[in-house]
Amino acid sequence: MQHSNSTFNPWRFLTPRYWPTWLLLGLFRLLVMLPYPWQLKLGAGLGDLSRYLLPRRRRIVEKNIALAFPQLSGQQQQQLVKENMRSSGIAVFETMFSWWGDEQRLKPLFQIDGMEHLQKAREDQKGIILLGGHFTCMLLCGRMLAMQLPFQILVKKAKNPLFEALMRYYREKYYQGIIDSRDLRAMVRALKNNRICWYAPDQDFGRRHAVFAPFMGMPATTLTITARLAKLSGALVLPISYRRLPEGKGYQITISPPLSSFPSGDELQDATRINQLIEEQIQPVPEQYLWAHRRFKTRPLGEPRFY
């Protein structure tokens, strides 16, 4: 399902500073033409390689997993680190597949459960927040979901201008609209117009508009904006989860019924509830969560930093 006639002008990016990016993009454009099982194997290999080539990222993953899974032995934690970085390597291919994969190749790879909850929510003539977490397969699953229904997404700009221009082109092509993650008013307007917005609030954006709520047994800065959006717009909040299935069987997207009594009026209670939802999504596939993000970067006053 395409929603825009957005264009991409490559002539803006022909200077030498962009040549390495063009080279990588060209390589991946060829690789995503390979059969899907081959992409999984290549992605896993890329993840294995990244453990040695990206030591800083590996250390972040190691620290997060040690904090989130203290019950695991050191060997088990290292195995989870390995699996997580493999999952991130696969995500590189999934991102490119989300751009360049045609619908005929994508359709057999995914199944969606809970669409009836979404259809029922739409009958209420309200905006809908699809509330999910940052999992490694989320970009490809977003493209797959967009093939079934129109929705808008919140985005952050990439640092590389060429990569940002390409991402914007494909986002505008496949999604109903994009909203800057800092533009709260635009999201409220969209929700008041009964739009569906996909939102993943589970990252550390500092202390502003956040409270410390428990996440994986640790106090973590958690945005209060989700509750504010629901209150200001009257939107329903439906949890959504997505996972990569084992043995190359594709992807599972699950939409749950709307949260009841949300927002509650208590910022900490609402933030804790959101974190618990993300934890429930992590439990079946801990290796697929985005542990490369510095989730515990901001600490309560007086506590030492982890990274």
Could you read off the pLDDT of 157-185 as tens digits, one per residue?
888 999 889 988 999 899 998 888 778 88
Is the pLDDT score of 106 beyond 90? yes
Which tokens hold the place of 114? Answer: 């809970």
Give residue-wise pLDDT tens across range 30-63: 999 999 999 999 999 999 999 999 999 999 999 9
Q: What is the DSSP string of 18-49?
A: GHHHHHHHHHHHHHTTS-HHHHHHHHHHHHHH
**pTM for this structure?**
0.93
The span from the CA of 271 to the CA of 262, in Å, is 11
Tell the residue number behind the tokens 């494909």, with chain if given: 170
Q: Does residue 298 contact residue 253 with C-beta atoms inside 8 Å?
A: no
Q: What is the mean pLDDT of the chain?
A: 93
Report the chain's terminal Cα–Cα distance, integer Å: 41
Q: Does residue 100 contact residue 209 with C-beta atoms inside 8 Å?
A: no
Mean pLDDT of 100-118: 93
Is the pLDDT score of 206 beyond 60? yes
